[in-house]
Structure 1
Amino acid sequence: MKEISDTLAPSKRSAAKNIYAAFKILKGAGGEMSGKQVIDTIRETVELTEWEKEIYEKTGYVRWESILHFYTIDCIKAGYLRKNKGIWYLTKEGEKAISLGPVKLLDTATKMYKNWAADKDDKSKKEISTSSEVPELEKNKTQSQKANLDHLEEQAISGIKDYIKSKNAYEFQDMVAALLRAMKYYTPFISPKGKDGGLDIIAYIDPLGATSPRLKVQVKHRPDSSVPVDDIRSLTGLLNKDGDIGLFVTSGHFTSESERTARESHRHIRLLDIDDFISLWQEFYPKLTDEDKNMLPLHPVYFLGSNE
């Protein structure tokens, strides 16, 4: 990593170092990765000072992680980074910004954020101005709040993924069937153990399956891998009736070739990866039966949000 001047305030030095590392990690991962994985990778590969490893008494968060989350807001406003449901995405602009080096990258993002805030509200401009070594995250309450909410969301999504990962293939299959029922589908066929003929669930929008669309569902519990294109082609071959729609659900992700094949298929095929599944489970959770809720129980907690 490029050298960072010791004359910088500790918080600024930590932010520059770790934001730069996060961008490099995301680039190496193809541009996207869960926030938790980014944090874990930084912890394993970046040299952190004892000061950075200290815990904030007020929040219970590790100092460097709080600083990193705080400054990712600058990067988002600068168009370098996007976040959605615990996943971090490096934009093309963010990838180009890596060439600026740690300090200039951060300075550019911060300047762009300040310009945005100043245009939005003159009060915000005064609030985020800095002239001392007090960390910015102790000055800008709105930005700190947004960073903390992002941190909490990432922790929540990570916990849900770990819970799903701990289940076996048939338990995950049952979760998928439960979600479909919450979406007002009938599930007359859920594959028992053993050979299933390539299909794990068949779902209808009426009890007799006489009305289109009819879903033919394949479920793969592969939390640590991506579904290859051959699996998508196999499902396509099973869509042999008018009104058949293929649905492929995985507890992991899909390869880019799999996604492209599904998009270009002459048959309607919908892919749901773990992030899509969790998002839909959250959306339809109130419509699940109590028994189905117990497969993946959630507890909603409401925090004060931000207007930004």
Structure 2
Amino acid sequence: MSKSKSQQIAEKTIFAAFKILKEAGGEMRGRDVVDKIRATVTFDEYESHRFERTGYIRWESIMHFYTIDCMKAGFLRKNKGIWILTDEGEKAIKLGAEKLLTTATKLYREWDGKRKKETIEGDIENFTEDDSDQVQQSLLNQYEDEAFNGIRKFIVSKNPYEFQDLVAGLLKAMGYHISDVAQRGPDGGIDIIAYTDPLGTRQPRIIVQVKHRPNDSVSSDEVQKLAGTLKRNTDVGIFVTSGSFSKPAVKEARESREHIELIDFNRFTTLWQEYYPKMDDEQKNLLPLHPIYFLGSND
């Protein structure tokens, strides 16, 4: 039986995404994966067609649709806009583009317990009723990716002192009392000092280091330097970055004698969303959000 155009598109885009993730060390922002596919894979006019109703590109929509198969097959995970290639997914690359996709689809069918069509003709807007849940999930994934990309672009556009203000605003919303926020110039490794009471008479004293480097990973040496600023036995260190932490940095924080919490971009945005309802208007305006609720599932 001949392959549908959708399957052909899915095979080459899913396979390309897996290879890109592997080359990146196993994880990457979904938007960056899509951008890299766009730059390295050739698409014809049909594949590049933009749907009028959703505004999405055909090949992107089809790829997102089939990532659901890959996720249910255990080949791929998604978390806050980050795509993560599992060990099983890395092994599946050896199957080649065609068999990788058919294996993922077969495993998805077993998980779903429903009969899915062998081939899917047309575009993502014309899938069968049996596929409606998967279409909905793929669209929600795209909306979620776009939402996180919007938040990320907003934060990236800030200068280091504006990002520092964002961190201070979050800590205030979490119930901490800000004693000091570093001004321009050398800060000795301390950007924010906070307490759990207004006068700072109760322990612990919270020492915060803030790094606005959205495209970089914080090193273990930088975590060690934060630990060196904790002069009191009861001090707690918090390292906040708009980027990520290297694996050695995470290990350093975990094994440090001092209590050090790490907050990367994903954790920061999660905390901002969680405490957003408790913020005053001034705090909200630092990173304004607009919640929208979609019908979900129990999967």
> What is residue 33 of structure 1 aligned with on the other side?
28
Could you tell me which amino acid in structure 1 is paired with residue 58 of structure 2?
R
1:173-230 C-alpha deviation (Å, 9 max, x unpaired): 0000000011000001111111212100011111122222321000011112111222
Q: TM-score, normalised by structure 2?
A: 0.95
One-letter code aligned to 2:199: L
Shift of 1:133: 3.2
Which of 113, 117, 121 lines up with 1:129 in the alignment?
A: 117
Superposition TM-score, scaled by structure 1 size:
0.93
1:109 to 101, 104, 119: 104
Confirm or deny that 1:290 pairs with 2:281. Answer: yes
Deviates most, 159-168 or 224-233: 224-233
Q: Tell me what 1:57 maps to.
A: 52
d(CA) in 2 for partners of 1:67, 1:109: 14
Corresponding position of 2:9? 14
* Alpha-carbon distance in 2 for matches of 1:9, 1:61: 20
Extract unaligned runs of 5+ from structure 1. Answer: 1-5, 119-124
What corresponds to 1:182 in structure 2?
Answer: 173
- Aligned amino acid, residue 112 of structure 2: A
8 Å Cα contact 2:4/2:119 also seen in 1 = no
- Rounded Cα–Cα distance in structure 1 between residues aligned with 2:225 and 2:46: 54
Taking only aligned residues, the RMSD between alpha carbons, in angstroms, comes to 1.5
Asked if the contact 1:145/1:306 (under 8 Å) is kept, the reply is no
Match of 1:246 in 2: 237
Q: What is the match of residue 172 of structure 1?
A: 163
Q: Pick the aligned partner of 1:210 from 182, 188, 201.
A: 201
The percentage of counterpart residues that share the same residue type is 55
Which structure 1 residue ranges, 4+ long, deviate > 6 Å from structure 2? none
Alignment pair present for 1:197 and 2:201: no
| Matched positions, count | 296
Q: Secondary structure at the match of 1:88?
A: strand
Q: Match of 2:213?
A: 222
Within 1, Cα distance between the matches of 2:177 and 2:120?
Answer: 62
CA distance in 1 between counterparts of 2:18 and 2:25 reads: 11
Tell me the secondary structure at the aligned position of residue 218 of structure 1: strand
Per mean C-alpha deviation after superposition, the further-off stretch among 100-109 and 233-242 is 233-242
Give the whole-Å Cα distance in 2 for the aligned partners of 1:131 and 1:210. Answer: 67
Amino acid in the other structure paired with 1:33:
M
Distance 1:39 1:12 in 2: 18
Instruction: Note the alpha carbon deviations across 1:121-168, whole angstroms, 9 max, x for none.
Output: xxxx14x23356345771211100000000000001001010001111
